[in-house]
Each structure stands twice: as structure tokens, then as C-alpha cells.
């Protein structure tokens, strides 16, 4: 199996979820937690690992402990493996929120990477097996892929660096667990379905419990008083006609390092005109940017005039494409 990033991206793109409403009923569904991390396709051989995001960015350098564990797994199984899963942050061994990955996912300095790996734990949660040696499993049902995944993972890592995604045929029980644990939601999967690379399929349904969404940054405002770097992000989303509609602004959820990092990202993308369909009115001077930065935002609800109520910045989504 080639581990050149370009070849790997062309081979398998991640299957995507459709947005679900009601909990699907019937014996042909299973339910998993919606993990709050970085979705990656892991390409593993005994000597090399790629962790490719939806955009084709390789995150293996940022998570050396996961690379080591996946190489060891491939070596034990004596074959290359391709796994679909999520890189998540850990807090005292428990799965944490996406924001706790922020300090690790963009670091490129080797010394800092080692420091973060030693101080801020992460894990890879596998929820699908796409290639087992030379055998493609894409056309097999979820049931068959899951059974083989469980055999492959086994007791993959006693320290919890590699984990197997939970699954439950009782959707209501999984929903209740999600509410108790504070998860973002659950994923419903049709157990007879094949893996559909790069396609958004109703065989996988995203059932969200809280309002979180990715938005594109179209600009930022000047900070007030003693605040540094920037005041608020000006958020948008692409409508069906390809135009960027304004969704609101948020300046909460940042720490000092996050504000500085965001300012650096946005200044590189500066432009003279607003990228939004209709230029929003702002209380402070606005700086416009080419809309390439994607951020995850938590909010209370959509208002009647189509903007967000009480939006809070969670983190930058380098793994998401601005126009996806």
C-alpha cells in the first residue's frame, strides 16, 4: 500500500453523514457517539502512518504517539490497514471536547510537538475498517466491517491511545447517554450499508443534541478597550447559490493565545471588500478577509432574522473545507 499522501487521498475519501431529524427505527440501524475531534482516515503500515483529514492535510506529525501505536497495530496484524476514525483529546483518560485539541493540531515545531504529546493526551477512536491487507472492505456491509474491525483492534492499546468506537443497537439508550455525558450528539448507521467514499449518504445520519456548526470567517472587527488582537469574528455560510450569507459575530470563547493565532491567520487573508452577499453593519471598524478559515461555533439558536443567538467560538477546523 502506497503511503504517498496524494495517492491515499485519491484512493479513499471519508464517507459523510446526512443530517437526521427523528431517531430512525428498525433493526437495521446501530448508533455511535458523535465524537468531538478531528475526523481522519488513518493509513497504517509497520513503518509509516498517515492521518489524513477531509482536506487531505496530514496530521501524523502533530500526534506522534498515535503514529507509534498505529504502526505497532499494523505490525502485530502483519498487514497494512486503513481505518476511519477520530482523533480526540483526553482529560484524565476521558474523551474531552474539541477545544482541547487546539493547542496540538497546528504545531509544527518538533520540540513543541514532543512537549504537547507528553502533557496533553490524545487518542484515535476507530469506527470503521476500509482496507485489511490487500482486501478492500468498501463494498461490504457495516456489520461485516465492524466484526473485522473488532478483531483487528482487539486489546489494541492498554493505555487507551487506540480505542474502538462504542456502538449500540438501542438508539434511545445512546441518545440518553449522549445527554448525560454532554456529547454533541450521536451517529445512526444502517448496518447493511457499504462504505461510500466521499459521499454524503442517508445511510449515516448525524443526530445533534446541541447547536454547534462550522462557519466561514469573512472578516473581523477592531478590539475594544484593553482587548488585544481582534474584537469579533464575522461569520458566514455558503448558500445554495454559492453566495456567502452573514450569520453573525462572536468574540467570546477565546484565550489570549487563541486571539493572537486568529489575528495571524486572518491578516494573511486580508482584502478590501466584504465577501458577504450583503455587507453587515458592525459597531467597530471591520477588516475583510478572503473566506478560507473555518471555525466551529456553539450557539443558542437561530434568530428570526437569520443570525446566531449567543454564538461562542470553539476552535478552528483545519480539517474542514470552507465551501464543503
Contact between residue 144 and residue 195 where contact means Cβ atoms under 8 Å apart: no
Cα separation, 226 vs 299, whole angstroms: 26
Question: In the chain, helix, strand, coil percent, each to 5?
Answer: 25, 35, 45
Q: Where are the alpha helices (DSSP H) in the chain?
A: 5-11, 64-77, 102-105, 110-119, 142-153, 171-181, 256-267
Closest C-alpha among 309, 295, 283 to residue 236: 295
Closest C-alpha among 319, 29, 87, 79 to residue 203: 29
**Strands 200-208, 16-19: pairing kind:** parallel
Among residues 34, 59, 189, 320, which one is catalytic?
A: 34
Instruction: Give the count of alpha carbons within 13 A of 145, CB side only.
Output: 27
> Between the CA of residue 257 and those of 151, 212, 224, 296, 297, what are the distances in Å?
42, 22, 17, 17, 18
Is 34 catalytic? The answer is yes
Q: Where are the alpha helices (DSSP H) in 154-295?
A: 171-181, 256-267
Closest C-alpha among 174, 175, 150, 151 to residue 164: 150
Contact between residue 205 and residue 16 where contact means Cβ atoms under 8 Å apart: no
Cα separation, 42 vs 112, whole angstroms: 23
Cα separation, 122 vs 108, whole angstroms: 17
The arrangement of strands across the sheet holding 16-19 comes to 16-19, 200-208, 185-190, 29-33
Cell of 173: 439508550
Catalytic residues: 34
Amino acid at each position: 500500500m502506497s503511503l504517498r499522501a496524494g495517492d491515499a487521498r485519491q484512493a479513499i475519501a471519508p464517507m459523510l453523514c446526512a443530517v437526521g431529524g427523528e431517531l430512525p427505527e428498525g433493526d437495521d440501524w446501530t448508533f455511535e457517539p458523535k465524537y468531538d475531534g478531528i475526523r481522519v482516515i488513518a493509513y497504517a503500515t509497520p513503518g509509516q502512518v498517515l492521518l489524513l483529514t477531509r482536506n487531505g492535510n496530514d496530521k501524523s506529525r502533530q500526534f506522534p504517539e498515535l503514529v507509534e501505536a498505529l504502526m505497532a497495530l499494523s505490525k502485530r496484524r502483519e498487514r497494512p490497514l486503513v481505518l476511519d476514525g477520530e482523533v480526540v483529546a483526553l482529560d484524565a483518560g476521558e474523551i474531552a471536547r474539541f477545544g482541547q485539541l487546539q493547542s496540538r493540531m497546528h504545531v509544527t515545531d518538533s520540540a513543541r510537538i514532543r512537549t504537547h504529546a507528553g502533557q496533553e493526551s490524545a487518542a484515535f477512536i476507530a469506527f470503521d475498517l476500509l482496507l485489511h491487507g490487500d482486501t478492500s472492505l468498501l463494498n461490504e456491509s457495516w456489520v461485516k466491517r465492524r466484526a473485522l474491525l473488532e478483531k483487528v483492534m482487539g486489546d489494541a492499546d492498554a493505555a487507551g491511545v487506540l480505542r474502538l468506537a462504542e456502538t449500540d443497537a438501542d438508539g434511545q439508550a445512546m441518545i440518553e447517554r449522549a445527554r448525560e455525558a454532554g456529547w454533541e450528539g450521536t451517529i445512526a448507521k444502517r448496518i447493511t450499508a457499504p462504505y461510500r467514499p466521499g459521499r454524503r449518504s442517508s445511510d449515516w445520519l448525524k443526530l445533534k443534541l446541541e447547536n454547534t456548526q462550522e462557519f466561514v470567517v469573512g472578516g473581523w472587527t477592531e478590539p475594544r478597550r484593553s482587548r488585544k488582537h481582534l474584537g469579533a469574528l464575522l461569520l458566514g455560510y455558503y448558500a445554495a447559490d454559492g453566495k456567502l450569507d452573514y450569520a453573525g459575530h462572536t468574540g467570546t470563547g477565546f484565550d489570549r493565545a487563541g486571539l493572537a493565532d486568529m489575528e495571524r491567520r486572518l491578516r494573511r487573508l486580508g482584502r478590501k471588500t466584504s465577501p458577504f452577499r450583503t455587507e453587515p453593519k458592525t459597531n467597530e471598524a471591520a477588516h475583510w478577509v478572503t473566506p478560507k478559515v473555518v471555525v466551529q461555533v456553539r450557539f443558542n439558536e437561530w434568530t428570526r432574522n437569520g443570525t446566531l443567538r449567543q454564538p461562542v467560538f470553539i476552535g478552528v477546523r483545519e480539517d474542514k473545507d470552507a465551501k464543503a
